[in-house]
Amino acid sequence: MAERKRPGDDDAAGDRPEDEAYADGDVQDDVVEVGDEPVSRGGDKADREADSGSTKTTKEPRRGGNRIGGFFREVVSELRKVIWPTRKELLTYTAVVIVFVTVMTTIVALLDFGFGKAILATFGN
């Protein structure tokens, strides 16, 4: 059987591409050439089921605990990447937000009061 070669593989003895995982974690199907046509040896589960003639699909039981645990592990991992503000920065940002909200609330309240007076003056009560 002919072995499949990938770009960058050297012809060093003992290197077998089918034993190595690719950089993204996927291992591709083994492909051999028969005549002029490449043929898969059924490295994929769906290919193996199709080769065996089985039409029955089996569902593996869901393991919800692993999904929830994985989610929290990923959350903790992402929180470690966050650049947390210093105490001084936090106090500055908090003061800016409070001042901005106060100013905007005052502007909206004054506009509301002014439009209310204008409507009452126009249509009367």
Number of structural domains, the chain?
2
**H/E/C letters for each residue in 58-94?**
CCCCCCHHHHHHHHHHHHHHHHHHCCCCCHHHHHHHH
Is 0.75 surpassed by the pTM of this model? no
Average pLDDT taken over every residue of the chain? 74
Residue 28 located in a structural domain:
yes
Query: What pLDDT is recorded for position 8?
Result: 55
Handedness of CA 94, 95, 96, 100 (dihedral sign): positive
How many angstroms separate the Cα of 70 from the Cα of each of 24, 63, 99?
Answer: 19, 11, 40
Segments forming the whole domain that contains residue 35? 1-52
Residue 69 belongs to a domain = no
Which runs of consecutive H residues, i.e. helices, occur in 11-63?
45-52
Report d(CA 45, CA 65) in Å as an integer.
Answer: 25
Does 47 map to a domain? yes
Q: Tens digits of per-residue pLDDT, 34-91? A: 566 655 555 555 555 555 555 556 666 555 568 889 999 999 999 999 999 999 999 9
Q: Which of 34, 52, 70 is the last residue of a domain?
A: 52
- Percentage of residues of the chain with pLDDT beyond 90: 43
